[in-house]
């Protein structure tokens, strides 16, 4: 029975995801980080190296991102009794590096945090793993080390784990036709030596088939990676050749037109101070001045101004005709959110959200409008933005979960068809 390689995986989630993968003996398989590492990519990276038995964090309580990875792989979570300090992480890495023959290097603190988490988990289980190896060696069962440790970590006693693995190995080594023959002729019809010869031959055949399946899965994974790379490169080459020049022109035009809004805001604030006195001036500091435009067409956006400046928020009366490149244009103007009326096309929404520009229904903002400008309390603006952020995060998590389920189902179908 071929053993699965069990892993200890340390994860430091956040804008940049840090990942460290160790074997149960402390061998380092991977130290990695990425700013664009989605949950689907993290699972793919882990699967390439084996089966995660323990998924660890350096902070307490366990982050939801790490909990999700544990759930996907049915792995055992590890969390320290209290969040590890910077000094504790530095010390555990230093000790490990001094006793390791492998060269360990880091690109950033996220990779250090991930490795510290995996090392803390290994330290917690290390004595139990040594005890298991001693017991298995005494019974000449060292080849069951990985599987036995996995069962014990998940709650089984060592004796029941050994018994379960022996039964599984016996079942794997005896195909159904051999078991059926034994049931029909339990005492005769063939010599013991002849029976052993058949069993050995079937066992070799089973191992050979296992190797062929492993090679085929590796080949499939390699081809999928190559296909994804070709698709990605071809797609972006097309995008760059057809759109980058046009996009750069629009961004440049947008930058020239943004300063008018900043100037209008300053003029209005000064006007309020002059007309209303110091009390209203204090109130004005708590007010956000937001431009109002009929739509998000390129011309409307360009008309906002002709000089450099920033527009953090825009109110749009009707966004139903917005184009798919609007995110590129507004991103150049440092826009944080757009309050829209009408139905925003899906491509335009994706473009805005890809540049982290929030899309908020216009009716959610309590604002007082004066033709092409509106006044809103800053706390009302922040309240509307908070709701939009939560909705965006829910959609992104739902999209990631759907992609992951599709990936897992694909792997299952490939394995079944193989």
CATH of the domain at 81: 3.30.420
Specify if 288 maps to a domain.
yes
Residue 167 covered by a domain: no
Residues 142 and 263 in one domain: no
- Contact between residue 346 and residue 353 where contact means Cβ atoms under 8 Å apart: no
Question: From CA 326, how far away is CA 348, in angstroms rounded?
Answer: 6
Number of domains in the chain: 2
Domain termination residue (choose one: 150, 181, 215):
150
The kind and range of the H/E element at 29 are strand 28-34
Which residues, 6+ apart, have CB-to-CB distance to 134 below 8 Å? none
Q: Which residues on neighbouring strands pair with residue 9, listed in sequence order?
A: 21, 55
> To which residue do tokens 């996995």 refer?
150
CB count within 10 Å of CB 202 equals 15
Q: Is residue 321 part of a domain?
A: yes
Judgement on whether residues 263 and 379 belong to the same structural domain of the protein: yes
51 is a domain residue = yes
Domain end (from 150, 165, 198):
150
Is 345 contained in some domain?
A: yes
- Rg value, the chain, Cα: 31
Task: Pick the last residue of a domain from 122, 150, 178.
Answer: 150
Neighbours of 147 (CB within 10 A): 20
Cα separation of the two ends of the chain: 19
Is there a domain that residue 195 lies in?
Answer: no
- Tell me the C-alpha to C-alpha distance, in Å, between residue 228 and each of 72, 225, 241, 266: 23, 5, 20, 50
Show pLDDT as tens, one digit a residue, over the chain (418 residues): 556 799 999 999 999 999 999 999 999 999 999 998 788 899 999 999 999 999 999 999 999 999 999 999 999 999 999 999 999 999 999 999 999 888 899 999 999 999 999 999 999 999 999 999 999 999 999 999 999 999 999 999 999 999 988 887 776 555 554 445 444 444 444 334 433 444 454 455 455 555 656 666 777 877 877 787 766 666 566 656 666 777 777 777 776 666 677 676 777 767 766 665 555 556 667 888 888 888 888 777 777 655 546 778 889 889 888 888 887 777 666 788 999 988 889 888 888 888 888 999 988 888 888 778 888 998 888 988 988 888 888 888 887 777 778 877 877 787 877 6
320 domain residue, yes or no: yes
191: in domain: no
> Distance between CA atoms of 152 and 142, rounded to whole angstroms?
15
**Phi, psi values for residue 337, rounded to 5°:** -155, 150
Q: What domain range is 358 assigned to?
A: 258-404
């Amino acid at each position: 029975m071929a053993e699965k390689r069990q892993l200890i995986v340390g994860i430091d989630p956040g804008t940049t995801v840090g990942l460290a993968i160790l074997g149960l003996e402390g061998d380092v398989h991977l130290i990695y980080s990425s700013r664009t590492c989605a949950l689907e990519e993290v699972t793919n990276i882990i699967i390439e190296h084996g089966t995660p038995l323990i998924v660890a964090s350096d902070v307490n309580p366990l982050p939801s991102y790490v909990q999700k990875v544990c759930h996907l792989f049915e792995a055992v979570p590890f969390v320290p009794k209290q969040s590890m300090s910077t000094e504790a992480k530095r010390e555990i890495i230093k000790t490990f590096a001094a006793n390791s023959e492998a060269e360990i290097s880091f690109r950033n603190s996220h990779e250090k945090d991930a490795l510290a988490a995996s090392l803390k988990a290994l330290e917690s289980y290390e004595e139990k793993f040594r005890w298991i190896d001693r017991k298995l060696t005494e019974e000449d069962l060292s080849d069951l080390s990985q599987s036995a440790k996995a069962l014990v970590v998940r709650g089984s006693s060592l004796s029941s784990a050994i018994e379960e693995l022996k039964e599984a190995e016996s079942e794997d080594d005896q195909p159904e036709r051999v078991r059926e023959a034994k049931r029909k002729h339990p005492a005769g019809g063939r010599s013991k030596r002849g029976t052993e010869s058949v069993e050995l031959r079937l066992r070799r055949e089973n191992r050979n088939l296992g190797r062929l399946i492993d090679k085929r899965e590796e080949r499939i994974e390699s081809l999928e990676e190559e296909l994804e790379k070709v698709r990605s490169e071809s797609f972006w080459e097309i995008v760059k050749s057809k759109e980058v020049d046009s996009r750069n022109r629009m961004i440049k035009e947008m930058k020239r037109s943004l300063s008018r809004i900043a100037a209008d805001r300053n003029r209005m604030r000064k006007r309020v101070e002059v007309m209303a006195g110091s009390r209203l001036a204090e109130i004005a500091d708590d007010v956000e001045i937001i431009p109002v435009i009929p739509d998000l067409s390129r011309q409307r956006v360009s008309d906002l101004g002709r000089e450099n400046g920033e527009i953090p928020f825009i109110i749009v009366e009707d966004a139903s005709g917005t184009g798919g490149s609007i995110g590129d244009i507004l991103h150049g103007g440092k826009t944080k959110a757009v309050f829209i009326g009408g139905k925003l096309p899906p491509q335009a929404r994706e473009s805005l959200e890809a540049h982290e520009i929030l899309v908020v229904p216009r009716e959610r903002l309590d604002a007082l409008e004066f033709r092409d400008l509106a006044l809103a309390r800053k706390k009302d603006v922040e309240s509307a933005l908070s709701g939009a952020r939560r909705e965006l995060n829910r959609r992104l998590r739902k999209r990631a979960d759907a992609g992951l389920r599709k990936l897992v189902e694909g792997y299952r179908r490939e394995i079944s068809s193989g």
